[in-house]
Structure 1
Amino acid sequence: MTDVAHEREEGRVIPITTAPSYAEPEPLAKALAFLRRRLTGDYEVDEFGYDPELTDKVVLEMLRPIYRRWFRVEPVELQNVPREGGALVVANHSGTLPVDALMLQVAMHDEVGRALRLLGADLVYQLPVLSHLSRKTGHTLACPEDADRLLRKGELVGVFPEGFKGVGKAFSERYELQRFGRGGFVASAIRAGVPIVPTAIVGAEEIYPKIGDLKVLARALGVPYLPITPFFPLFGPLGLVPLPSKWMIEFGEPIRTDEYDPSAADDPMLVFNLTDHVREAIQQLLNELRLRRGHAFPPFF
């Protein structure tokens, strides 16, 4: 059918016909265009292997329902994250599996509008599939060289100084920061003259409560730990479904480093003191945010 409009001109009525539109639905057109670009190689990756389109259109789309509906992540004090230029986001690490890193990446993209370039442990880049996917989504090895290059390019870089000590700690030690590394992240921030944003993540500790560790099997498999939770390995694959805890992420006031000369990055005492300052800031944020969050499993609405 055609729609008929009428226009009056010098007493005459002139019918105006509008042809029906048979354009492809927009989501389908976008999906087809995306597939076409992937098949023809018409997309870009940077020097680290980061593929922004794949990250935005596929990976983050898969993570977003978990972020919004399962964990109901609530970010606060977003104004403390720089909207442009290099910055180092330093957060606590927990949860048995590093789900907190993925949720932080979604928060940066959706709430701040910036890509978060996460620094990962060596083990991640020793696993073929995981290594490739990590590179594609903007992650890279946690080493001074890569951190320096990203920060000097003006990127927002994320780091978890506790490493496996944090993500693999027992449930009885929840929200207690483990020892940070040697302060390499602080040295990189000083060399680049970028702010450090202390960040607290509350909620990840409850998704896989670790009550034990299969140490012998973990050593045989070459992994830092093999957790025992109330549901894994007892319930098999079902035990891998994370519990729907309520999450909050708070971004603390940035700690400036541009007041130091870049050569100060070679001063072990300065780096140690600043690292300790960042750690204390995150621990304080955690303590306060945990009280603010309240019950870990409030009713769904």
Structure 2
Amino acid sequence: MNEVAKVIHLHDLPEPRPRPAARRWPSGGEPAPVTSLSDRLAAVEPQAPQSISDAIRGEIGKTITRAAEFARRRITGDYQVDEFGFDEHLLESLLLPALRPLSQLWFRVQVSGMENIPEAGAALIVANHAGTLPLDGLMLQLAVHDRHPKQRALRLLAADLVFELPVLGVLARKAGHTLACRPDAERLLRGGELTGVFPEGFKGIGKNYADRYKLQRFGRGGFVAAAVRTGAPIIPCAIVGSEEIYPKLADIKPLARLLGLPYFPVTPLFPHLGPLGAVPLPSKWYIEFGTPISTTDYEPEAADDPMSMFEVTDQVRENIQQTLYKLLTKRRNAFTG
């Protein structure tokens, strides 16, 4: 039942006085009429700007409110985890906010081609890999979430070693990532997920600084086969800036074998400066998403044809390599852009 709201006057208002004739201003124009009480007060005495202390208190209050809401949802179980262990609430509330200062203030990531990522449905983003430590994957996931109109979650395919590491392996699962294997890739794509892969693997992030931005071999094309089987488009992605965060000058292979790592890097700051050597250099980053490459022209059975898959793999690799060269040509300095 709809009711009409009634206005109740607490006091009888006096008859309004006749308004004086409008004053002509030297400029020939007239000021806009002031009707509300707040406008009249503002016209008499402008509001003082908010002080820094008030702004800080306001931000602290918002942070406390967000923290309380986060704790409430975690305690009451008001969140969901999918079959891969993806916890979207934890990703958006804790993990991505921790990465934003690194992206916005340190690397100053600039993104282009976001319109090439579909608003819904499956797609496979294929990117170059570099940096000694795989920070490019984190920056890519954050860029897609924050810059895409639908704030899509990018599900990365990562190496087994990532999930074997204490704490980091659990966080990777909760951030939505899974093993870089064909079954998991196909399950994500069939589920309509936006999936990301770095076909260079450890060969990409572990290459020496002298070989920066020269793509390594893209494996056997397993990512293409997964896209063909599911009919998902392939989106080439080029990342510039990641090669300069930890310039790898050498590799201590005996120590790497002892620790069970693919390599033990020597950079200008590590291991000479100890923990301080783990601070990445503030290079300027560019991420560009290219035009999607359709896979619908292939029958699902074509995924078992090595030559067909090699052709598509080579097409994707060449696309990314040419985009890297283009971005590098435009860049004047690795740290100022």
Verify same fold: TM over 0.5. yes
Larger radius of gyration: 2
2:52 maps to 1:52: no
Which residue of the other structure, out of 266, 269, 278, is the alignment partner of 1:231? 269
Which residue of the other structure, out of 248, 252, 260, is the alignment partner of 2:286? 248
Which 4+ residue blocks in structure 1 deviate beyond 6 angstroms? none
Q: How far does the alpha carbon of each residue in 1:59-111 deviate from its partner, in whole angstroms, 9 at most, with x for none?
A: 10000011011000000121111111100000000000000000000000000
2:66 maps to 1:30: yes
Q: How far does the alpha carbon of each residue in 1:204-224 deviate from its partner, in whole angstroms, 9 at most, with x for none?
A: 000000000110000011100
Whole-angstrom CA distance in 1 between matches of 2:185 and 2:329: 33
Alignment of 1:282-293 (within 5 A): 282-293=320-331
| Change in CA separation of 1:78 and 1:221 when aligned onto 2, cut-off 3 Å | same
> Number of residue pairs matched?
283
Whole-angstrom CA distance in 2 between matches of 1:7 and 1:295: 69
Counterpart in the other structure of 1:187 = 225
| Change in CA separation of 1:10 and 1:222 when aligned onto 2, cut-off 3 Å | closer
2:100 maps to 1:97: no
Structure with the bigger percentage of strand: 1
Whole-angstrom CA distance in 1 between matches of 2:98 and 2:78: 23
2:19 maps to 1:9: no
The CA RMSD over aligned residues, in Å, is 1.6
What's the CA shift for 1:129? 1.7
Instruction: Give the partner amino acid of 2:87.
Output: D
2:180 maps to 1:142: yes
Name the TM-score, length of structure 1 as normaliser. Answer: 0.91
Counterpart in the other structure of 1:79 = 115
| Contact 1:248–1:293 (Cα < 8 Å) also in 2 | no
What's the CA shift for 1:11? 5.0
Which residue of the other structure, out of 193, 196, 201, is the alignment partner of 2:234? 196
Name the TM-score, length of structure 2 as normaliser. Answer: 0.81
Whole-angstrom CA distance in 2 between matches of 1:231 and 1:63: 22
Identity %, equivalent residues: 61
SS of the residue corresponding to residue 167 of structure 2 reads: helix
Whole-angstrom CA distance in 2 between matches of 1:290 and 1:49: 38
Counterpart in the other structure of 1:21 = none
What's the CA shift for 1:27? 3.9
Whole-angstrom CA distance in 1 between matches of 2:264 and 2:306: 35
Which residue of the other structure, out of 153, 163, 168, is the alignment partner of 1:125? 163
Whole-angstrom CA distance in 2 between matches of 1:291 and 1:106: 25
